[in-house]
Amino acid sequence: MKCRKTVRSLGLLAVLCAIGTLPLNAQTLENLSADSAHPENVLTYGMGYEQQRFSTLKQINKKNVKKLVPVWALSMENDSGEQAQPLVMDGVMYVSDAKWTVAIDALSGKQIWRTAVDFDPDTPRVVCCGVSNKGVALYNGMVFRGTLDANMVALDQKTGKEIWKTKVSDWKDGYSITGAPLVANGVLMTGVSGADFGVRGFVDGYDPATGKQLWRRYTTAAPDEKGGDTWTVENAYKTGGASTWLTGSYDPVLDLVYWGTGNAAPWNPNSRRGDSLYAASVIAMRPKTGEIVWHYQFTPNDMFDFDATSEMILGDLKIGGKPRNVLMQLDRNGFAYVLDRANGKLLAANPYGKVNWASHIDMETGRPVETGIAKSLRNGESAEIWPSIIGTKNWAHAAFNPHTGLLYANTLHMSSSYKLDTVAPYKPGMRWLGVKDVKIAFEPDAPHGFMAAIDPMTGIAKWKVPLNDSANWSSMLATAGSLIFTGRHSGEFIALDADTGKTIWQFQTSSGINASPITWSMNGKQYVTVMSGFGGLGKRWVGPSAKNIPQGGSVWTFALAND
């Protein structure tokens, strides 16, 4: 490996140069840190700790992508929908959904093993937005995954046999796990879902070898903790939400994990008042201890369901003529944020879609300046809020190309209206919102969403492709071949010209796509893989076209046709 200066983090580059060409099958922490530098494998969620979802592979490029053909497909025997990102290690692919964990021969598509997930059939009643799972983690010969009923499981990587199982929390209290775990500095970390059920959110750290809990970091601050004074109603923090349902990023040089938190609970802020830390925030944590080093709150006193759980993308940007190690997020609240990832200093915050709840972000305080529309909602009136409770971007991940400096994302264009309502007494495992008359609307004669290439510093799109029939709910994948891969709920897997956004290839899969594609290589040949299976939150917003989309999950792998 040549240690050349690139636009990647200089600190991470030092780590990569230090480890050189360690064999990937050693499966060490260094290998995980170097994941994005070894594009033949995909060892981490986000295709690297930075979660850039960018690959340096370029055998498949915009000149030859029209020759892309399917080489195999495998049924997942699942009708609940597929949202996971596969992992690939040494010719074996690992995929998951709520029902199964599966190992596949990556070249032939033949199943190696399949292990069922045993969860209580009543569990789906505490799952907000689709029975799903977003992926697994690999480390030291084990496959780790969360389950719908809030357990963490370790499987033998070669056989799929269960090694240990640890109860993270009680699903009957509203907790579930749908996100992929993260292994950082030897600690297995997981978040949880459940803010809409009034859970107290947290991130847990476990010993990967035994499943023993090492620490728990609650994401609602207790009275004796820093931030505890932001919950001014007694004991409100105990049911304050701030769930952690997507996977964090990790900077191994700073030894900081960046984890996003969800909406505060209930939505009605009068039951908690104050900023409600650390809801709708990013927390930078030490993976060994769970210590919070810094935080930034995107939406203080959240009453909009503006989860900040979306991917925290790590990269380098030139700001003021100098390179800065940054964290970027296209927040659900409609603003594109750039933070210094060492200390959380706000460097940029600009709208990347239609926003009316705030006029701007105050760069001195870092706080949004709310408009009269937001104030009318706080005063008990019904208000039409842009973006909607679904956000300008939901969970489907953006990609970042370090060479162009652009974020590529599927965005949403819809509003919501509702009123604050009397907050019913809290009951474990029951929805707890404190709002009524919730309606979501599309703007007349306007697109439902866009595929866009966004400047993270300005929020302005270099190009933007309108989606007039329905928005996309699949993640983006960027490659050095000047391509962007994504999928449509109607089943098309598509490749875009990264310079223009024009669709230059597509293939109709067997169901809808709302998962995270990857690319990898073996024996000198590049492949692209995506999971297909109609489901998830987006299923509610596809419109009339959903009527003819068949259920059924599967894994599809593509490569260039042999000449």
- The C-alpha atoms of residue 310 and residue 111 are separated, in whole angstroms, by 32
Non-local (6+) Cβ contacts of 116 within 8 A are: 99, 100
Report how far Cα 434 is from the mean position of its chain's Cα atoms.
27
Catalytic residue among 305, 307, 316, 331: 305
Q: Is-contact 50 314, C-beta < 8 A?
A: yes
Beta-carbon-side half-sphere exposure of residue 473 (alpha carbons within 13 Å): 28
| Interatomic CA distance for residues 393 and 387, integer angstroms | 9
**Pick from 134, 118, 115: which is nearest to 45 by CA?**
134
Question: Which amino acid is located at 352 in the chain?
Answer: Y
Sign of the alpha-carbon torsion through 189, 37, 556, 412: positive
Q: Are strands 383-385 and 368-370 parallel, antiparallel or unpaired?
A: unpaired
Radius of gyration of the chain (CA): 22
Query: Which residue intervals of 356-439 are DSSP H helices?
Result: 372-378
DSSP run (H or E) holding 385: strand 383-385
Question: By three-state DSSP, how is residue 176 classified?
Answer: strand
Residue 305 falls in the annotated catalytic set: yes
Cα dihedral 440, 445, 451, 452 in deg (nearest 10): -100
In sequence order, the β-bridge partners of residue 249 are 258
89 has which bridge partners? 92
DSSP category for residue 227: T
How many of the other CB atoms lie within 10 Å of CB of 347?
Answer: 18
Tell me if residue 351 falls in helix, strand or coil: strand
DSSP codes joined into one string, 269-302:
GGGT-S--TTTTEEEEE-TTT--EEEEEESSTT-
Dist CA 497 CA 494 (whole Å): 10
Which residue shows structure tokens 């994005």? Answer: 36
Tokens matching residue 421: 């309502």
Work out the end-to-end distance of the chain between its first and last CA atoms, rounded to an integer number of angstroms: 31
CA distance 321 to 315: 16
Residues near 175 by beta carbon (within 8 Å), at least 6 away in sequence: 126, 150, 168, 169, 192, 193, 194, 197, 199
| 157's tokens | 């990587």
Which residues are designated catalytic? 305
